[in-house]
Amino acid sequence: MLRIALKNIALWATCLLSMTAGATIVSDWNNTALAEVRVAKFGPPIVARALAIAHTCMYDAWATYDQYALGAVVGGSMRRPAIERTDANKAKAISYAAYRCLANLYPAGALARLPAVMLSLGYDPTDLSTDLTTPQGIGNVAAIAIINARLNDGSNQCGNLTNPLASCDLIPNPFAYSDYTGPDLLPLYKPRNPPMPFCLPTTSGPCPVNTVDPNHWQPLINAAGKTQVFVAPFWKQVTPFALTEDSFEQFDALTPVPNFLQGASNYLADVEFTVANSQALDLGRKLIVEYWADGVGTVQPPGHWGLFAQFVSQRDNHSIDQDVQMFFAMHNASFDAGIVGWRLKRKYDGVRPITAARYLAQGAQVLAWGGPGRPIEPIAGEKWAPYNPGDNPTPSIPGYISGHSTFSFASAAVLQAFTGSDDFGLNPAIAH
């Protein structure tokens, strides 16, 4: 989806992050939300939910100034007369809605960063008016309605399902989005494999393989001694935007059993394919990995598509009306896709390549990436690692199904449907 020339990847991050001139208020608030995503460092499905909520707040505030649109939560109960349907009123209502929602989702940002954005736009962040004859009142009321609608959606945003004393105002909040499941819902997630000790191809000495069940996810221990924890293993419990339980069952039926569970020969073929890709590692492939890594401290895969949507908005010279609808549809599609994807990750608890390759190749020499600063060279099979910058060589989630692919196809499908084209079309030479 969205055909993009790989040779341009190195310039995208710079181009997309620097494009603010001429952006709509919706695109600006998307960028503000992504700034909070980077700081908060929550996992992908949590980011998808936050972006969906923020843009639902904006959409419902905007819908009040549209002749026909119905808010996702407030419906048409606050519709204003035609004479008030100005871009200035829309921008102000959208800003108050976005600000209130983001302050709820990212309370640390509400201390200084988010108020600074409001002040830069000429709005008073302390204005708590609920007067529906004013844009700020509409924005505030829309935000309150959506925040309340999402309070008990199963995400455990405030952490109170884990610790009844926790609240959304707690900064920092160690209980936010923590696993709260148990016998009444799902068994509390417990990995079937012990944590894998930190090891890279460059690690001196032996790296023993301690995998117990090679079909399932194994948490890693990073260089600092921190053990991975499955990000949001309870996410199937979250109330989606548009999907129903029947929809979940439909996706279960449509999703094939992963290849590695279809027999020893298939498992071996997957590992051989993985090692062959490591052998073929070149600068172009490294660039792709680094660009799409989307690890801790980035905008994560759902946010990555927010950056793409910002470019589409500027490329096509969108109005506020167009942007509020496009971002709303795209981020809610991504949110629902993440719920399905994490349901399947929990269902299969699938092994990641680093475990499978080390398990099968232990005791042998393989030709592969030799580690940071090293070329492709013979290494011990039990030290094999994928090329991936960061503290952990692989994400903190089971491998099947792909989170990147799930978020990306949902987001790309919306952008294609909205624009009527599968072409992305960024030319860095023109953009700069």
Question: Which helix (H) or strand (E) element contains residue 377?
Answer: strand 376-380
Does a structural domain hold residue 163?
A: yes
Does a structural domain hold residue 295?
A: yes
Please say whether the beta carbons of 99 and 117 come within 8 A.
Answer: yes
pLDDT the model gives residue 2: 41
pLDDT for residue 78 is more than 80: yes
Residue 4: which residues within 8 A CB-CB, separation 6 or more?
424, 426
Average pLDDT over residues 139-160: 97
429 falls in which pLDDT band (50, 70, 90)? very low
Question: What value does the CA radius of gyration of the chain take, rounded to a whole number of Å?
Answer: 23
pLDDT in tens, 277-303: 999 999 999 999 999 988 888 999 999
Does a structural domain hold residue 118?
A: yes
pLDDT for residue 321 is more than 80: yes
pLDDT the model gives residue 22: 73
Please say whether the beta carbons of 179 and 188 come within 8 A.
Answer: yes
Does a structural domain hold residue 175?
A: yes
pLDDT the model gives residue 250: 80
Distance from the Cα of residue 84 to its chain's centroid:
36
Q: How far is CA 326 from CA 27, 50, 319, in A?
A: 10, 16, 11
> On the CB side of 244, how many CA atoms lie within 13 Å of its CA?
1
Please say whether the beta carbons of 146 and 60 come within 8 A.
Answer: yes
Question: Which helix (H) or strand (E) element contains residue 333?
Answer: helix 320-348
Q: Which amino acid is at 214?
A: P
Does a structural domain hold residue 33?
A: yes
Does a structural domain hold residue 383?
A: no
pTM here is 0.92
Residue 429: which residues within 8 A CB-CB, separation 6 or more?
none
Question: Which helix (H) or strand (E) element contains residue 267?
Answer: helix 264-279
pLDDT the model gives residue 7: 33
21 falls in which pLDDT band (50, 70, 90)? low
Average pLDDT over residues 319-325: 98
pLDDT in tens, 329-368: 999 999 999 999 999 999 999 999 999 999 999 999 999 9
Beta bridge partners of 221: 227
pLDDT the model gives residue 315: 95
Residue 398: which residues within 8 A CB-CB, separation 6 or more?
216, 217, 230, 345, 346, 348, 349, 350, 351, 352
Q: How far apart are CA 178 and CA 175, in angstroms?
A: 5
Beta bridge partners of 71: 75
Instruction: Give the number of domains in the chain.
Output: 1
**What's the start-to-end Cα distance of the chain, in Å?**
25
Q: How far apart are CA 207 and CA 200, in angstroms?
A: 9
Does a structural domain hold residue 209?
A: no
**Domain span at 128:** 6-189+230-352+395-431
Lowest mean pLDDT among 5-19, 97-111, 321-335, 362-376: 5-19
Does a structural domain hold residue 316?
A: yes
pLDDT for residue 154 is more than 50: yes
Lowest mean pLDDT among 161-170, 301-310, 316-325: 161-170
pLDDT for residue 3 is more than 60: no
pLDDT the model gives residue 54: 98
Question: Which residue in this structure is represented by tokens 């960028």?
Answer: 31
Q: Give the torsion through C-alpha atoms of 116, 121, 126, 130, to 10 deg.
A: -150
Please say whether the beta carbons of 326 and 309 come within 8 A.
Answer: yes
CATH number at residue 24: 1.10.606.20
Please say whether the beta carbons of 114 and 106 come within 8 A.
Answer: yes
pLDDT for residue 184 is more than 90: no
